[in-house]
Every structure is written in structure tokens, then in C-alpha cells.
Amino acid sequence: MPIKKSIRVSERRRSINRRVQRQSLTQLKQARAALATGNAEDASKAVNKAISELDKASSKNVLHPNNVSRRKSRLAKKLASLTTS
């Protein structure tokens, strides 16, 4: 592949990857904020949306699968402790 085309392709991929990553991390931040409020219903919705976005990022190879798994596990654990207490 010619170098100029390679640069164009990598810039385009970088832009898409950053968009996917920012979206998933924004949803993660919103889920953490919802968990901090203590409202189990809102927190549950936010956590499910964040998990969905993290899975999308993992399937697109933007975030490492182990990283996504760890984040999902921590969210689920916080949600479980919120609903039981």
C-alpha cells in the first residue's frame, strides 16, 4: 500500500476508534455517576447501557477484551451491592 494511502487509512481508523472509545467511556462514567446516586433503577439502566457500549468497543477491537471484562465485572459488582443493601 502506498504510504500516502496508508496515512489516510490510519487517520480514518484512528478517528473512528477514538469515537467508539469516547462513547464507551462516557457511558461508563454515566453509569458510575448513577451508581453513586443510589437509585437502583436508574443505575441498572445506566449499567446495562455502559455494558452494551463496552461490548461494542471490544467487538471492534478498540478496547482489549480483558479490559472490557474487568470494567463490566466491577460495574456489576457495584450494582449488585446497591440492590442488595
CATH topology of domain 3-84: Methane Monooxygenase Hydroxylase; Chain G, domain 1 (1.20.58)
Ramachandran assignment for 70, one of left (phi > 0), alpha (psi -120 to 50 degrees), beta (any other): alpha
Listed by start position, the domains of the chain span: 3-84
> What is the per-residue pLDDT for 1?
84
> What is the per-residue pLDDT for 85?
65
> What is the per-residue pLDDT for 45?
96
* CA 26 to chain CA mean position, Å: 7
Q: What is the mean pLDDT of residues 11-19?
A: 97
**pLDDT tens digits along 35-79:** 999 899 999 999 999 999 999 999 999 999 999 999 999 999 999
